[in-house]
Amino acid sequence: MHGNPIELIVGLGNPGPQYQSNRHNAGAIFLAELCRQYQGQLRFESKFAGEFGAITVGGKDVRLLFPTTFMNHSGRSVAAVLNFYKIDPGNMLVAYDEIDFEVGVTRFKDGGGHGGHNGMRDIINVLGGRNGFYRLRIGVGHPGHKSMVSNYVLSDPSKSESDVIASDIDAAIRVMPQAIAGEWEEAMRLLHTQD
């Protein structure tokens, strides 16, 4: 499966220091770490309603976005960047926290629904139902009951969980050159055999 190369990577989360280490910010934590490892810089851009930057991976320029609209309005920020740079959603990767995966499981996915994730739901809505973009689903575990999910994702993982999530994020960053080049089969194989 030779898929699409990636031109935009979005990391989902909520803005503000009180949310910074929350499970719900796993995508934003991934984005910040990717940016750091590739010597990029994220700066607030009001026209994109988010923190925006660019890095070069394997000779390709990739734009990075952390929507600072709060999770439920992430789509506005994503659409602004896609429209401004004329990027097709099929050339986008969105990283986010996945409660259906245990901590320690991180997976790529091509397309699909929002799986109850508010940030993903909003992005798909704003894109007019277009959901054919890549995802990086970072496992944060599930609290056991639906009614507990909101408090759970808006709290910080334990130290040991946080270490596992950080090593998952590192593993995902290691395969970004393949993912960005559109070598999805290879990227998935490398990432999915690590856990």
Query: Is 182 inside a domain boundary?
Result: yes
Q: Is 24 a catalytic residue?
A: yes
Sheet bearing 43-45, strands edge to edge: 43-45, 50-57, 60-67, 8-11, 92-98, 134-139, 106-110
Residue percentage of the chain with pLDDT more than 70: 98
- Of 165, 125, 135, nearest to 23 (Cα)? 165
Q: According to the model, what pLDDT value does residue 3 have?
A: 80
**Tokens found for residue 126:** 């704003």
Q: According to the model, what pLDDT value does residue 2 have?
A: 58
- Are 180 and 54 within 8 A, CB to CB? no
**Tokens found for residue 157:** 């993982």
Q: According to the model, what pLDDT value does residue 170 have?
A: 96
Query: Is 143 inside a domain boundary?
Result: yes
Query: Is 97 inside a domain boundary?
Result: yes
DSSP readout, 79-126? HHHHHHHT--GGGEEEEEEETTS-TT-EEEEES---TT-HHHHHHHHH
Query: Is 1 inside a domain boundary?
Result: no
- Are 35 and 43 within 8 A, CB to CB? no
Q: What is the DSSP letter of 158?
A: P
Residue percentage of the chain with pLDDT more than 90: 93
Instruction: Report the C-alpha gap between 155 and 161 in whole angstroms.
Output: 12
The predicted model gives 40-64 an average pLDDT of 96
List the domain range (segments joined by +) for residue 158.
Answer: 8-192
- Are 182 and 2 within 8 A, CB to CB? yes
The predicted model gives 33-37 an average pLDDT of 97
Residue type, 85: Y
Cα dihedral 191, 108, 103, 127 in deg (nearest 10): 160
Q: According to the model, what pLDDT value does residue 1 have?
A: 45
Q: Catalytic one among 24, 73, 114, 145?
A: 24
Query: Is 68 inside a domain boundary?
Result: yes
The predicted model gives 80-92 an average pLDDT of 96
Query: Is 3 inside a domain boundary?
Result: no
Cα dihedral 139, 140, 143, 144 in deg (nearest 10): 10
The predicted model gives 75-90 an average pLDDT of 96
The count of domains in the chain is 1
Instruction: Report the C-alpha gap between 194 and 65 in whole angstroms.
Output: 26
The CATH number linked to 122 is 3.40.50.1470
| pLDDT greater than 70 at residue 139 | yes
Query: Is 2 inside a domain boundary?
Result: no
Query: Is 144 inside a domain boundary?
Result: yes
The predicted model gives 132-137 an average pLDDT of 96
